[in-house]
Structure 1
Amino acid sequence: MAESIGRWSDPFELSNVAVHATLLPNGKVLYWGRRENPKSTDLATLDEHFTKAFVWDPATKTSIPTANEPLGIDGRPVNLFCAGHSLLPDGTILITGGHVKDGWGVNQACVYNPATNTFTPKVPHNKGRWYPSVLTLPDGRALVISGSYDQSFTVNNIPEIWPSDTGSANPTAWVEVTDPLNQQGPVFPLYPRMHVAPNGRIIVVGPLADSFWLDLKDPVTGIDIQTPVSGGAVVGRWSSAGTSRKAMFRDYCPSVMYDTGKIMYIGGGLTVESDPGPTNEVEFLDLNVDTPKWTGSAVTNMKVPRRQFNATVLPDGSVLVTGGTKGPGFNDLSQPVHLSELWDPTTGRWTEMASESVNRCYHGTALLLPDGKVLSAGGGEYGGAGPDQCFTNAQLFEPPYLHKGGSRPTITAAPSEIAYGKDFSVTLGSSDTISKISWVRLGSVTHCRNMNQSLMFLTGFRQTGTNLTVPAPANTNLSPPGHYMLFALDPNGVPSVARIIRIFSSVPPRLEGTPAIPSPCEPPAAEIPLCCSSDKPATAPDVTPPPPSLQPTLTSHTQSITNSHNCPPMVVGLTPSCPYGLGPCFAGAYDALCKIPDIEIVCPVPNQAESVAYVYTKDAQLLPRIGVWKEEFSKVVNKSYEMLGIEVVLEGVVEFGLGTIGLSIEKYGGSVLVDLKPFGKERQIRWDWEKGVLKEVKKEEENAARRLREEVDEKGVARNVKVTGTLESGVDGNVLYVREFEVLSGDDGA
């Protein structure tokens, strides 16, 4: 059976929950979790401000701790939980952001060196980053996008680039990516899925339905786009890629570059109300064509819907999915998926594989190893997982190609380093015949997102006896500098054990005209120091004070929006499926609100405490079409968010009927009558995200409609009243449930 469905090893123990895992150039795996003791029932340990990291050796299946714990540049320990990470050209791992508390990221950066097993602090970010994505660029630098920060859990909308000279004794600083044509920039979800296209552009493919290009370099000169105003800083150009995934907003799922310039986006998200689980849909994007478009069909969909899972590209170009849940909600542990599936690039179909014995849902990880097996580990550490669902063990999956019988091809000799565009020699076993050679970048995975994974086939190789002459990749866009696993595959698709090879470029690490400039350091919060611990005295950071940021933060952009309007915004109540509240998880809802035809502008920072967003309509005199808003909104977000209702502020003249009270609103010389009714919990649109319930309604809010009538009775018929409340539309017209009011004038002139 193993030759058709593969085989799982028995579980074996690690030293912690492997929430973050990176394959190192020495073939070992660096990993860390959320806290020192994942079995603790003390919830305070969820916000520890230090990291215990380990290195696992596949040869011995044992772990050792790193030689030191990661520190910030101020000397304080940091928690690298929910950080972003990717391998740099020299084989070190850049780790950015981390954990203060859920939704609040620290502005640290550090580099792990496998040769010394140590962490070294680097210059911190402009703002904190919790759930950022990191991508190694074709020129060896690293791009960091997204992540949330501070007490408001605001998403960091200003991307940054880390220079490639990480080994310098005098570390250079981050460079902000500003866009003078789009001052706000796109509002991306946490851990955005991004890849390098064959043309060198960066593409962000999810979780939003729409895809976006980021251009960093001039296509003619190859030098970073700049303006004199920026003082030499990178200026990025954001633009729409002109294509959207049919499955719309999908989060907590992987995107994979399974071949040169070819991406697949797999499952995730939540579906319609009648089927409120994740999807099994798989969509494809070919970046090798002039106008890439997302495609997909029922034939290429997975067998099982799943969320909170991982996808691993294998040496033969197939893609393995492992773990996840098929249940509704953020992380339904009652419906874990143990069944693995394997996608065949020649047929486009999925085949059911052997089942894993452990739940690998939220915070599970999976990595391809040099021996062709897949390490599956982690799971737990929040998302409804108690101590018994926090897994400090791992399993190894042996794909079917390891059980086809006969001997595997072998690589007996290969260079440790090669240059772009140069042939290199590989020595094979005495009887090996090779049909394909694959080149797989070392993986660096967390939260369903492998930030370093890609595969390409090296073509044009020549075999003479036991010698292979292989042309190295000539294009840094296809293979950014760094370390790769070189697999030799026989005619049956059986891969050799890989040799890890570093490819380097003769191009200077930083192109002329892109000087490194210091980037702003986030001032420490009064109660939380820069790197979030009081366990160790801080030393003053040795950081040159930078110039002010050229790109406005989402907070400042929101303030400018409200300052430019002379009327209050409409308030939209939203509940996200994400347990971290609307602040860090707002991007999907923001995108959906922007697509509602009646809405002119959406403030990019919501109210985290009350789970509401603020919008301005194209015509402030028109009442929102509530049914249309909810329908258009749900088309984009599926069930990842729910629109609870809309609160408006209306001014008009109070009118009385038989036992009724209404508000006559002047519009275009006529008037619209809105019934006024008492406000109650059933009309509440504000959500307490910490408690997971609607906000309690105050007595004065329940009595507002009655007090309005009493106020008007005392002063006479009011000519002008401002009323705030939840608006609903019914068969008999619009109804406003009065939460508060202000009498502006009455017949006595008051």
Structure 2
Amino acid sequence: MEPKDVGKWEPEFQLSNVCIHASLLPTSVGAGKILYWGRRKDPRNQDLTDVISMHEHQTSSFIMDLNAKGKPSTATANAPKDTKGDDVNLFCSGHTFQPDGTLLVVGGHWLDGMGIKQACIFNPFEGEGKWIPMQPMERGRWYPTAIKLPDGSILVVSGAAGGNPDPNPELWRGGKWGKVQYTQSMILYPRLCIDPKGTGAVFMSGPMAISQWLHPPVFGSTNTVGAWDEQTAKREGGQREYSPSVMYNSGKVIFIGGGADGDKVPESSCELIDLTEPTPKWKQAKQSMAFARRQHNATILPNGKVLVTGGSSGAGFNNVSFKDAAHKERWPVHTPELWDPITQEWTKMAPEGFDRCYHSTALLLPTGQVLSAGGGEWIPDDTQQCNHQEDTLTNAQIFNPPYLFDAQNQPATRPTISNAPGSVDYGGKITVTLGAHDDVGRVTWMHIGSVTHCNNQSQSFLDLTFNDKSLPKLEIDAPVSSNIATPGHYMLFVLNKKGVPAIAPIIRLNAAPALVPSHKVLAKHVAVEDHVPLDLHAHSAQMVADQKRPPVVLGLTPLCPYGLGPCWGGAYEALQHISDVELVRPLPNKEDSLAFVYTAHDILPDIDIWRSEFQRLAGGAYTWRGIEMTLSGVVTATGGDELTLAGNDSRPDLSLAPFQQSSKIEWDLATSSLKPMSEAEAGAYKRLAAAVTKSPGTPLQVTGTLQKLGDGKFQLDVKDFEAVGA
């Protein structure tokens, strides 16, 4: 394998902690400067099983200067704190750049699944960089996504405060927070980008199967009500967690791999959508990756191709274990793959030297190289055969893509750029000076990246038109709309006719005037000023009060290790689309890992169909433990100790059976096992038989786990019972 075909990795170098959050600073020159932080101050000297150390409440942040590679990173001038002066941990936060080049960081870590309200700004223009506490958000957020809107505001979506991801985003605008009221359940770290059409709505591509458009309140309006578009787009691959989604050109999005459950490996397939079409729809990409992946990163290169690095191909949340003890085959994927949007084909690249799985990062540098770093720093799962200390990586490598090598596998001669402006207005001209003998094949515009958890919350790409008639002076047309390029800092890549990029200067695209709302869906919500904020607990309680029948209870174990509360969004969406389900309670029981649905009629759900539909829609992100129902009717003894519950016009008779430990659907997250059966549950069937003998013909309400015995034949393992209306 030659570098001109597969690229080349440079030797590893050490960092000060695990690079879980990484952002390319706008002050970068040459190779670039990276702000980064991890979970703990110094994981190399701490035991991964030490629960206290895994939940530190401070952040050790550093600046990596790649022009001085090999030298130790420099600690930031100060550490992040909240407005009270207390330390905060920015692990599991969301972050994106503001138009002025400062980095807004929101949320963070208190415990797994429990976020904090903090908001702070990192100012890279003050000395070596300074953290500044901001007004806290109204809600704690763990795993939120922050996205910059066309008007320069920052929309913060999702994130858990200790339960479900919050469906109500918050809007950072004019230096303060405002509420944005939506009525949708939300998944952790939603993948967001700006739709270039209309007012620049926010497009959510995943990880949930149903993609949606949402419209924040417009600039200058006192309205706090955002609008979900009625239009949706469905990915056939279903829910796919821990997978990247990137807008590789204006309005064109690729969703790459991801998804898995305890028994299945992740996907290698990819799906595409073009938001510029009148009715955008997802479609399968022409070719899948050579490797199935989960926990991988996707980086857009200056030539528009997409580089995928790292990830695990094994089943499970973050499988870095041996395939089997005899063969010592490991699941982490070391071979990157490069996707060409023109041919839609994948090409294997030179293998990386380390596992880059959960908590790894990848960033494009001004040199056209890619930084790959981090991985690890997660609480061990004793069921996996792996060395978690070994897979907590405080190192990094830099990848040189094939375009940096000539036909003899020597470093390619780059074009050069000088006299680049520091900023430009929308619709303006960017004039730069190239080398005396340079030619120009393409000019591209790349927003500086900010990445964590497979989710680059600032990455975007655009081709720019140019005039090369007066070389070495090159005149380039700046973007004309903030829908296609939000205000902020961009790398300007000039590629010669051989596709070799110059080292990119970083140029600020100045903020555009406030947008005027024009989208019909948005317009009909603008006048609503008295919308009541969504309270999920009140909404759930009202749903219970309104129903005439007990719910169908589903036991669901999420693949993610944080429980059904934080990892609820995908299940909520999938349950709404399975056969005969009319309503889904917006809140699960996170303590027992249970979901509650209501059917349109008094029926027995076909367990096989429900399970199949759910797993397809949820992308294998949950294990289906079983169904519990409460049914009313007359119980009769059919001979011996056998009992039968009478059916009705909409459901058949079904046999009753004693409750077993295997009938239990309540889950214990701490022990990763079913909760133990109680004595009352074990004796429920005998008590029911005695009650039927004593008072035959009395209508009863029987609760138990539903089992399918065959076509049209069902059994209920009796857990409890009572007289109808008791």
Give the TM-score normalised by the residue count of structure 2.
Answer: 0.90
Aligned to 1:643: 624
Whole-Å separation in 2 of the counterparts to 1:361 and 1:549? 43
Aligned-residue offset at 1:650: 1.8
Whole-Å separation in 2 of the counterparts to 1:664 and 1:344? 61
Q: How does 1:281-680 map to 2 (within 5 A)?
A: 281-297=269-285, 299-334=286-321, 335-382=331-378, 384=380, 386-404=388-406, 405=410, 406-507=412-513, 550-619=532-601, 621-665=602-646, 667-668=648-649, 672-680=652-660
Kindly indicate whether residue 175 of structure 2 is the aligned counterpart of residue 177 of structure 1.
no
Aligned to 2:523: none
CA contact (8 A) 2:16 2:62 kept: yes
Aligned to 1:277: 265
CA contact (8 A) 2:692 2:698 kept: no
Kindly indicate whether residue 38 of structure 2 is the aligned counterpart of residue 33 of structure 1.
yes
CA contact (8 A) 1:21 1:32 kept: yes
Aligned-partner residue type, residue 120 of structure 1: I
Aligned-partner residue type, residue 212 of structure 1: Q
CA contact (8 A) 2:641 2:689 kept: no
Kindly indicate whether residue 233 of structure 2 is the aligned counterpart of residue 243 of structure 1.
yes
Whole-Å separation in 2 of the counterparts to 1:646 and 1:489? 58
Kindly indicate whether residue 166 of structure 2 is the aligned counterpart of residue 156 of structure 1.
yes
Runs of 4+, deviation exceeding 6 Å = none
Aligned-partner residue type, residue 627 of structure 1: D
CA contact (8 A) 2:243 2:297 kept: yes
Aligned-partner residue type, residue 273 of structure 2: L
Aligned to 1:22: 23
Equivalent position SS for 2:587: coil
Aligned-partner residue type, residue 696 of structure 2: V
Question: Which deviates further from its counterpart, 670-679 or 593-602?
Answer: 670-679
Per-residue CA deviation, residues 256-299 of structure 1 (Å, 9 max, x unaligned), is 111111111101112796xx1111111111112212121224x4
State how many pairs are aligned: 681
Equivalent position SS for 2:613: helix
Kindly indicate whether residue 152 of structure 2 is the aligned counterpart of residue 146 of structure 1.
no
Aligned to 1:720: 699
Kindly indicate whether residue 112 of structure 2 is the aligned counterpart of residue 102 of structure 1.
yes
Aligned to 2:326: none
Aligned-partner residue type, residue 167 of structure 2: N
Structure 2 residues without counterparts, runs of 5 or longer:
322-330, 381-386, 518-528
Aligned to 2:121: 111
2:141 counterpart (105, 129, 140) = 129
Aligned-residue offset at 1:127: 1.3
Aligned to 1:518: none
Aligned-residue offset at 1:711: 4.0
CA contact (8 A) 1:158 1:553 kept: no
Whole-Å separation in 1 of the counterparts to 2:452 and 2:494? 28
Equivalent position SS for 1:627: helix
Question: Which deviates further from its counterpart, 608-617 or 463-472?
Answer: 463-472
Aligned to 1:191: 189
Aligned-partner residue type, residue 35 of structure 1: R
CA contact (8 A) 1:272 1:638 kept: no
Whole-Å separation in 2 of the counterparts to 1:464 and 1:82? 49
Aligned-partner residue type, residue 260 of structure 1: S
Distance 1:223 1:65, change over 3 A: closer
Aligned to 1:68: 78
Whole-Å separation in 1 of the counterparts to 2:348 and 2:647? 64
Per-residue CA deviation, residues 635-694 of structure 1 (Å, 9 max, x unaligned), is 2123211221111112222211222343444634x9843222111111111221221111
CA contact (8 A) 1:723 1:742 kept: yes
Equivalent position SS for 1:333: coil
Distance 1:638 1:472, change over 3 A: closer
Aligned-partner residue type, residue 160 of structure 1: E
Aligned to 1:233: 223
CA contact (8 A) 1:7 1:399 kept: yes
Aligned-partner residue type, residue 175 of structure 1: G
Distance 1:215 1:11, change over 3 A: same
Distance 1:506 1:256, change over 3 A: closer
Whole-Å separation in 1 of the counterparts to 2:43 and 2:541? 41
Whole-Å separation in 2 of the counterparts to 1:310 and 1:717? 64
Whole-Å separation in 2 of the counterparts to 1:449 and 1:393? 20
Equivalent position SS for 1:104: coil
Question: Which deviates further from its counterpart, 430-439 or 65-74?
Answer: 65-74
Aligned-partner residue type, residue 347 of structure 1: T
Question: Which deviates further from its counterpart, 56-65 or 355-364?
Answer: 56-65
Whole-Å separation in 2 of the counterparts to 1:125 and 1:205? 25
Structure 1 residues without counterparts, runs of 5 or longer:
166-170, 227-231, 512-546
Per-residue CA deviation, residues 390-449 of structure 1 (Å, 9 max, x unaligned), is 100000000011112541001122011111111121011111111111110000000000
Equivalent position SS for 2:677: coil
Distance 1:198 1:19, change over 3 A: same
Aligned-partner residue type, residue 145 of structure 2: S
CA contact (8 A) 1:441 1:484 kept: yes
Distance 1:650 1:114, change over 3 A: same
Aligned to 1:4: 5
Whole-Å separation in 2 of the counterparts to 1:548 and 1:581? 35
Aligned-partner residue type, residue 190 of structure 2: P
CA contact (8 A) 2:6 2:349 kept: yes
CA contact (8 A) 1:654 1:661 kept: no
Equivalent position SS for 1:111: strand
Aligned to 2:664: 684
Aligned to 2:61: 53
Equivalent position SS for 1:700: helix
CA contact (8 A) 1:444 1:452 kept: yes
Whole-Å separation in 1 of the counterparts to 2:686 and 2:641? 11
Per-residue CA deviation, residues 489-548 of structure 1 (Å, 9 max, x unaligned), is 00011000010000103526999xxxxxxxxxxxxxxxxxxxxxxxxxxxxxxxxxxx99
Aligned-partner residue type, residue 208 of structure 1: M
Aligned-residue offset at 1:627: 2.3
Per-residue CA deviation, residues 14-64 of structure 1 (Å, 9 max, x unaligned), is 000011000110121111101112231122111111111111101112311
Aligned-residue offset at 1:239: 2.1
Aligned-residue offset at 1:97: 0.7
Aligned-partner residue type, residue 645 of structure 1: G
Equivalent position SS for 2:612: helix
